[in-house]
A = this chain, B = another copy of it.
């Protein structure tokens, strides 16, 4: 297909596609004539991945580039690729959690039987969140246990979700598809969970406060 057809198929405007081509995020098409190139299904898929990363994930061009490099490198073993995909998606943190908070995160991971790489950014982020939760908890007594117990309701929910999500990856999928699946799944699922949680809360507050049912919602 031509670049205008690629734009129609993906909803991404032609100038944006040309910019992705210049930035090297999207591989060049096959040149068929002077000033003309042909694109195929691989370009459609790649454009959708880029759009998800930019629009939903809010990632920078450099972050998108890092993730695409990973997607295109078949040499990394799968578990490391998963970790690296999460790493590329991780948000830079300005604060470093204390050794005590990291120990609490590890204690929690051990309690769940979850084994992750010590350098996993999600492990460091969890430690930071535990630290913050302890800081804002109004109850100073028994805070540690109540914070770790408070994690269980979330962990129970995501453990079931993660198992379902992983079972949907075909066994014979090439590494590229798996990374794409993890990256897209992570970006889309996290935003979907967040949106639905807000909608459920808004609805519960409206109903608890005797609001009239909105006929148009």
Q: Does A190 contact B (CB under 8 A)?
A: yes
Q: Does A201 contact B (CB under 8 A)?
A: yes
How many Å lie between the Cα of A198 and that of B189 in the bound state?
A: 11
In this complex, the member of A10, A109, A118, A132 whose beta carbon has the largest number of chain B beta carbons within 10 angstroms is A132
Q: Does A21 contact B (CB under 8 A)?
A: no
**Which residues of chain B are near A153, meaning CB under 8 Å?**
160-161, 164
Taken together, the copies of this chain in the complex come to 2
Report A150-170 residues with CB < 8 Å from chain B CB.
151, 153-155, 157-166
**Which residues of chain B are near A155, meaning CB under 8 Å?**
196, 200
**Which residues of chain B are near A205, meaning CB under 8 Å?**
78-79, 82, 166
Minimum CB–CB distance from A48 to chain B (whole Å) comes to 5
**Which residues of chain B are near A83, meaning CB under 8 Å?**
202
| Interface flags, A9-27, vs B, CB<8A=1, else 0 | 0110000000000000000
How many Å lie between the Cα of A162 and that of B106 in the bound state?
A: 27
Interface residues, chain A, CB within 8 Å of chain B? 10-11, 48-49, 51-52, 55-56, 58, 77-79, 82-83, 86, 91, 93-95, 106, 109, 112-118, 120, 122-123, 125-126, 128-129, 132-133, 135-136, 151, 153-155, 157-166, 182, 184, 186, 188-209, 211, 213-214, 216-217
